[in-house]
């Protein structure tokens, strides 16, 4: 969650950064060798970024111009592939386990990071979205682990496993508070409430796990209650998004 990616405003002071959203996925994966076809891997990752798991999520989050294209960025090693969409619309990283221990990384995992600073057609920060829109975005984000696993095993031919279990994380952050990202107009907040500037949730795969719909509902309600201090007892209805 703390890795700085190219094409973002991460190096600015926290109060100077626009609101942003980050999705992280880790899939258990065998160590890669020195004889991989890295140009083919980079091409497959680019195709994945254009695929529905990423493209539909980006379309929900931010304006993407028709001429925006993913471009490779410099990285410290071939096993880390950094890509930036357009002029910083989004940034993505693929990191494959190569036997090198890196600070903050879990061993035995392939890593995917997708970082977005939502913007409108005018290039400015996008208007905050409704809770039901965020519920839909969270549900779309649940497609990322499956899509990433398919990229690793089907397209790259790497050995993946459920041990350690696949993990995912979602983080929303704004300079002042999350009302810059989430529109709570018309919702009652608790007396003395002070909205937080960050919401973060982690998930782990399990055979007894819940559906994407129920997970998205729970995350949305948790975001409203814990980060935005909304009174959940005011009859919030997120069901409209189940038909979307």
CA distance linking residue 190 with residue 213, whole number of Å: 27
- The pLDDT tens digits for 226-242 are 999 999 875 566 655 34
Q: What pLDDT score was predicted for residue 243?
A: 33
pLDDT of residue 103: 64
CA–CA dist 71, 216 (Å, integer): 31
Q: What is the DSSP string of 140-176?
A: HHTHHHHHHHHIIIIIS---EESSSPPEEEEEEE-SS
Which pLDDT does position 241 carry in this prediction? 39
Q: Treating both helix axes as pointing N-terminal to C-terminal, what angle do 131-141 and 212-222 enclose, rounded to 10 degrees? A: 140
Q: What is the pLDDT of residue 238?
A: 67
Q: What angle do CA 134, 194, 169 make, to 5 degrees?
A: 40
- Predicted confidence at residue 158, as pLDDT, reads 87
- Report how far residue 64's alpha carbon sits from residue 89's, in angstroms, rounded to the nearest whole number: 7
Residues in the chain predicted with pLDDT less than 50, given as ranges, are: 241-244
Q: Identify the pLDDT of residue 236.
A: 62
pLDDT at 34: 75
């Amino acid at each position: 969650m703390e890795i700085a990616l190219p094409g973002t405003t991460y190096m600015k002071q926290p109060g100077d950064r626009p609101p942003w959203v980050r999705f992280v996925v880790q899939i258990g994966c065998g160590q890669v060798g020195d004889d991989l076809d890295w140009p083919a891997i980079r091409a497959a990752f680019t195709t994945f970024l254009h695929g529905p798991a990423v493209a539909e999520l980006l379309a929900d989050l931010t304006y993407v111009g028709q001429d925006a294209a993913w471009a490779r960025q410099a990285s410290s090693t071939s096993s880390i592939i950094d890509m930036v969409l357009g002029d910083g619309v989004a940034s993505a990283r693929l990191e494959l386990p190569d036997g090198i221990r890196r600070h903050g990384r879990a061993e035995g995992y392939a890593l995917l990071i997708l970082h977005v600073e939502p913007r409108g057609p005018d290039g400015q920060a996008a208007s905050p979205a409704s809770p039901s829109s965020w519920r839909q975005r969270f549900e779309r984000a649940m497609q990322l682990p499956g899509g990433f696993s398919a990229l690793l095993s089907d397209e790259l031919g790497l050995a993946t496993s459920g041990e350690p279990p696949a993990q995912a994380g979602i983080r929303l952050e704004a300079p002042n508070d999350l009302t810059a990202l989430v529109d709570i107009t018309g919702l009652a907040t608790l007396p003395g409430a002070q909205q937080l500037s960050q919401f973060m949730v982690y998930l782990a795969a399990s055979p007894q796990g819940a559906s994407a719909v129920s997970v998205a509902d729970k995350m949305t309600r948790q975001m409203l209650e814990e980060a935005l201090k909304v009174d959940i007892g005011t009859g919030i209805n997120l069901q409209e998004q189940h038909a979307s």
